[in-house]
Amino acid sequence: MGEFELIGRLFQPLADATRTPGTLLGPGDDCAIQRVPAGQDLVFSVDTLVEGVHFPFQYDAALLGWRALAVAVSDLAAMGAEPVCYTLALTLPEIQEAWVSGLVSGLQEASLAFGIGLAGGDTTRGPLTITVQVHGTVPTGQALRRNGAQPGDLIAVTGPLGGAAAALKWLDSPGDDTNRPFLECYHRPVPQLVLGQKLRGIASAGIDISDGLAADLGHILNASGVAGVVQTDSIPRQYGTVESSLAQALYGGDDYQLCVTVPAQQWNELPETLTRQLYRIGHICEGKGLQLERSDGTRESLAPGTGYDHFRTRG
């Protein structure tokens, strides 16, 4: 099977099955065409997953499809955006129809779950790499950025952290079964779209946690020019290997929960339906950097750059 047969047999049907109303033209032309409603800003982001770097060798194709789209859509969630359409750049060592079908089934499941349609792509030969560019919309001027945190704001996350890191440990060395229950956290990340959208106009800053809480909250602090204090006991965790669960929550990536800052006044006025889904973990203050506060009140300053960086070793 050649490139164009592959597109026609597998990707065109995926596009047809997942198309959303604003997509005026899908795959098949030089560009796709998407109508952006008046009063909306277009937000977009691209994510690349390389075999052996972002997912294990011999990783299941359907899980990869879900994961590739989920992690890209998570950036839309972090901006408070609604998903619209995506393009897919796929680099394959060779065409194995069964494998690509598996990938397409995972993509389709995720596309339908997140309400985002395939609008086009590019298919090339080389080391296995999957790149997804997602497009979404937000009401004009309302995107959640990283740079709006202010002293006095509260810091919250949308769910338990560290599960994906526990899963990765198990995938690395499957012997220790304590981490096995957390495999789903890695295999099937769920972007927090609804919460992201609900937090528009409420959160002063937001980010999705892809590289660990310490690193990603650090991005908010840097972008906003403020400092943060986090109470370690209040961080919701997936209990993998118990003694390392705090480290997994702080430094392990791939959880795709959101971390947001909310002005204290706003927090007090939030409906219970929303606060029930937010875990308050600390607050913003003047200064620089992130401090961890233990239950006995002692504080530890974290060095910047404690998350994952492709070109540096862990600090």
DSSP string of 252-299, one letter each residue: ------EEEEE-HHHHHHS-HHHHTT-EEEEEEESSSEEEEE-TTS-E
Give the nearer residue to Mg ion in terms of CB position, either 91 or 244. Answer: 91
228 binds, among Mg ion, ligand ADP, none (CB under 5 to 8 A by kind): none
Regarding 16 and contact with Mg ion (CB under 5 A), the answer is: no
Q: Count of CB atoms within 10 A of residue 33's CB?
A: 13
Give the tokens for residue 136. 């979404």
Residue 243 touches ligand ADP, criterion: CB under 6 A = no
For ligand ADP, the closer CB: 124 or 268: 124
Q: Which is nearer to ligand ADP, 99 or 239 (CB)?
A: 99
How deeply is 88 buried, as exposed, middle or buried, from its count of CB atoms within 10 A (0-12, 13-18, 19+)?
buried
Task: Give the number of other Cβ atoms within 10 Å of residue 266's Cβ.
Answer: 15
**70 or 259: CB nearest ligand ADP:** 70
Binder to ligand ADP among 2, 21, 30, 310 (CB under 6 A)? 30
Q: By C-beta, is 7 or 205 nearer to ligand ADP?
A: 7
Q: Do the beta carbons of residue 224 and residue 146 sit within 8 Å? A: yes
**Min dist. Cβ of residue 174 to ligand ADP (A):** 32
Q: Does 130 bind ligand ADP (CB under 6 A)?
A: no
Strand, helix or coil at 43? Answer: strand
Residue whose CB is less far from Mg ion, 34 or 204: 34
Query: Residue 88, interface with ligand ADP (CB under 6 A)?
Result: yes
Decide if residue 120 touches ligand ADP (CB under 6 A).
Answer: yes
The site map against ligand ADP for 276-295 (x = CB under 6 A) is --------------------
62, interface contact from Mg ion, ligand ADP, none, CB < 5-8 Å by kind: none
90 touching ligand ADP, by CB under 6 A: yes
Tell the smallest beta-carbon distance from residue 9 to Mg ion (Å): 18
Q: Which two tokens stand for residue 54?
A: 């972002």
DSSP code string of 211-266: S-HHHHHHHHHHHHT-EEEEEGGGS-B--SSGGGHHHHHHH------EEEEE-HHH
Does 122 bind Mg ion (CB under 5 A)? Our answer is: yes
Residue 150, SS3? coil
- Give the total of residues touching ligand ADP (CB under 6 A): 13
CA distances from 136 to 42, 46, 50 (A): 6, 12, 24
Does residue 228 belong to the site contacting ligand ADP (CB under 6 A)? Answer: no
At residue 128, the 3 state secondary structure works out as: coil
Q: For Mg ion, give the closer residue by CB, 86 or 182.
A: 86
Residue 182 binds which of Mg ion, ligand ADP, none (CB < 5-8 A, kind-dependent): none
**Partner residues linked to 160 by β-bridges:** none
- Answer whether 91's CB lies under 8 Å from 128's CB: yes
2 binds ligand ADP (CB under 6 A): no
Residues that bind ligand ADP (CB under 6 A): 7, 11, 27-30, 88, 90, 118, 120-123
